[in-house]
Amino acid sequence: MPTRSEITYFGAGPAAMPTDILEKAAQALVDYEGTGLGIAEHSHRSALAAKIIEETKADLSTYLDIPDDYEIIFMQGGGSGEFSATVYNLVGAWVTRKQQAGADEEALRKLVAEELKVDYLVTGSWSLKAYQEACRLLGSEHVNLATDARTINEGKFGKIPGESTWKLSKNPAMVYYCDNETVDGVEFPKFPDVLAPAADGSGPIVIADMSSNILSRKVPVKNYSAIFFGAQKNLGVTGITVAVVKKTLLPPSCPQPAPALLRQLGLPIGPIVLSYETIAKNNSLYNTLSIFDVYVAGQVLKKLLATYPDRVDGQQAVADKKAALIYGALEKRPDVYRIVPDKTVRSRMNICFRVTGDDTDASEKSFLDASKKLGLEGLKGHRSVGGIRVSNYNSIPLEGAERLVKFLDEFGKA
């Protein structure tokens, strides 16, 4: 059996973790800082837990340069839970703003019927799932498919339509997109210009799923009303989801409407554990939070801050270099490898390609068998699209990417 040091794991998530952090976390599970109890046994309402939460929030703010007018909350339910949470919270905020502008219940009914829209940019499997969830919760009449990447790519994902073609609603409750599509290997190269705020701060209410590229590049947080990300790619282990929410969406600026009013308006009422207002008010401790998962995320952040004095910029340089090496190796052998997404939107985190040949399935099986013998694991593509997927998360060292590049070159010559 191989040892941990002999494996480079390119799985899409749960992702590999730095060994030193796992070893420290393993010790903390048995006895946390000499308390005689493991970290998973301490009360989530203890002073010890509160310190872990506050330090992790502070380190995340430092690393990503999150402005003071944003709240960081730890939630449960994963990215899929946030597909629902974003709808509940942002539609509720839309109703509150209409109330604050003077609309009574009768006027609100009319506004909901005629104006309420949530916009979705569908560029891959995960934004599609989020769009479908919005339709399920609100009804398709309130959900605007502002763009669908499949329409310009023969029914498949792999491109992002030009911004000039997006059919955005007038003043939607939110514009939602997935910054990096894990399944399809598509990443927005930058924040969309058409969604950028004006000089006075006005502009669309933008929400982004950053589950698989968070901590890997600089984020213009001020351009968003909220971003969210599961921990299990670049931040830690499965179990917590982080939401970074602009405080103008929270009380006292924007309290959620009363459930009775939402019923009268025919709008869905979300579970309280998906309420940004409730979770923020309780410092992420409305219900029992896994402090162990927050602790692991905190250790990842502390290591990143110690490794990169220039914070996320330093990690971005490494991520970009690894991605360039891998794509370069694939491009050298176009007779063997076919990169799936268009070059303009290739993900740095999830590199998707096919191994060509008379029998693609056989060629890819041979590729996977050969890579596994060398300790290059987790390269099989998502079951919905097949192919090969290299997940180039922060935990993959430069040496790991170089090992893969060497294999790509050798397999391509065989």
Beta bridge partners of 228: 209, 243
Rounded to 5 degrees, what are φ and ψ at 357? 150, 180
Digit-coded pLDDT (tens) for 177-196: 999 999 999 999 999 999 99
Q: Does pLDDT of 414 surpass 80?
A: no
Q: Helix, strand, coil shares of the chain as percentages rounded to 5?
A: 45, 15, 40
Digit-coded pLDDT (tens) for 122-147: 999 999 999 999 999 999 999 999 99
Is 57 in contact with 72 (CB distance < 8 Å)? yes
* Residue 86's pLDDT band (cuts 50, 70, 90): very high
Question: In 158-195, which positions are buried (b, 16+ CB within 10 angstroms) versus exposed (e)?
Answer: bbbbeeeebebbeebbbbbbbbbbbbbbbbbeebbeeb
At 220 the pLDDT is 98
DSSP states of 147-215: EEGGGGTTTS-S----GGG--PPSS-SEEEEESEETTTTEE-SS--GGGPPPTTS-S--EEEE-TTTTT
* Residue 349's pLDDT band (cuts 50, 70, 90): very high
Q: Does pLDDT of 358 surpass 90?
A: no
CB atoms within 10 A of CB 102: 7
Digit-coded pLDDT (tens) for 250-308: 999 999 999 999 999 999 999 999 999 999 999 999 999 999 999 999 999 999 999 99
Beta bridge partners of 186: 181, 346
Q: Strands 206-209, 226-230: parallel, antiparallel or unpaired by DSSP?
A: parallel
At 279 the pLDDT is 98
Class of residue 298 by CB neighbours under 10 A (exposed 0-12, middle 13-18, buried 19+): buried
Digit-coded pLDDT (tens) for 200-214: 888 999 999 999 999
Q: Can you tell me the distance from the alpha carbon of 17 to that of 22, in angstroms, rounded to the nearest whole number?
A: 7
CA-based nearest residue to 352, from 158, 160, 128? 158
Mean pLDDT of the residues in the chain: 97
Q: Can you tell me the distance from the alpha carbon of 384 to that of 183, in angstroms, rounded to the nearest whole number?
A: 8
- Domains of the chain listed by start with CATH number: 4-17+309-413 (3.90.1150.10)
Is 220 in contact with 191 (CB distance < 8 Å)? yes
Residue 294 Cα to chain centre, angstroms? 17
> Percentage of the chain surpassing pLDDT 90?
97
Class of residue 267 by CB neighbours under 10 A (exposed 0-12, middle 13-18, buried 19+): buried
